[in-house]
Amino acid sequence: MSFTIAIDGPAAAGKGTISKAVAAHFGFAHLDTGLLYRAVGAKTLDGAEPVAAALALMPKDLDGDRLRTPQVAEAASKVAVIPEVRAALVDFQRAFARRQGGAVLDGRDIGTVICPEAEAKLFVTASAEVRAERRYKELREKGLDTSFDAVLADVIARDERDMNRAEAPLKPAADAVLIDTSALGIEQAIAAAVQAINAKRDQV
C-alpha cells in the first residue's frame, strides 16, 4: 500500500528535520526534493545549462556537503523558477511518492503541484526572524563568516522569490495542516506532525 505525506514550507522552517523524523517514525522512504534543485543549481555553478542539468540528473548527484552551501541554495532558488527545470523533475518526484510502503516528500510545491492527491499534507513555517536565526547559527557552526542581517535579508529575498514565482509558487495546499515552529522545540514540532498524520491515516 502507498501512503504519501507531502511536507512544504519556506527555508529553515524545520520541514527537513520534521520530514526525516516522520519518515523514520512511520518506516516510510524520504525524499528531500530541494536536493534535486540544489543538485541542478550546483551544476549551473559549474557552467552547465539548467534544463540540460535537470534532464541529466542522477541519484549520485544528490550526495555531498556542497549541496548545503549558501551559494548552491541561492542557485537552486534561481533554477527552480524555470518551468522546464521543474517539468524535468516532476516525474522523478511523483514516482517516488507512490512507491509501495509509503513516502515522505518535503519541498515547496509537493502538496499543491507534485502530489495534490497526497493522503497527508503539512505546511511547516516560522517567522522570517526565527528562521534567519536558525540559519545564522548553522552557518556559524560550520565556520562560515556572515552576519545575522545578511542571513535575514537572504531569507526574505528567497521567500519573495519562492512565493511569487509564476510556476508553482510556495503556498499551503487548501487541505494542509499548518505547523508554526516559531515557538516549538524540535520534539514538539515532530510530535505535532505525527499527530496530524495519524489523524489523516485514521481517515483512510
Residues at the annotated binding site? Answer: 9-17
Nearest to 126 by CA among 159, 97, 102: 159
Distance from C-alpha of 58 to C-alpha of 189, rounded to nearest angstrom: 32
Give the CATH number, domain containing residue 29.
3.40.50.300
Residue 198 falls inside a structural domain: no
Residue 201 falls inside a structural domain: no
User: What is the structure's pLDDT at 185?
Assistant: 93
Confidence band (pLDDT; 50, 70, 90) for 91? confident
Provide the domain limits for residue 94: 4-193
Residue type, 55: L
User: What is the structure's pLDDT at 36?
Assistant: 94
User: What is the structure's pLDDT at 76?
Assistant: 93
Residue 49 falls inside a structural domain: yes
What nine digits make up the cell of 129? 526572524
Q: What is the pLDDT of residues 29-52, one digit of tens each?
A: 999 998 999 999 999 999 999 999
Q: What is the pLDDT of residues 72-85, one digit of tens each?
A: 988 998 998 899 99
Residue 202 falls inside a structural domain: no
More confident residue, 96 or 131: 131
Domains identified in the chain, total number: 1
Residue 203 falls inside a structural domain: no
Confidence band (pLDDT; 50, 70, 90) for 113? very high
Residue 204 falls inside a structural domain: no
Residues at the annotated binding site for ATP? Answer: 9-17
Residue 151 falls inside a structural domain: yes
Residue type, 167: E
Residue 199 falls inside a structural domain: no
pTM of the model: 0.86
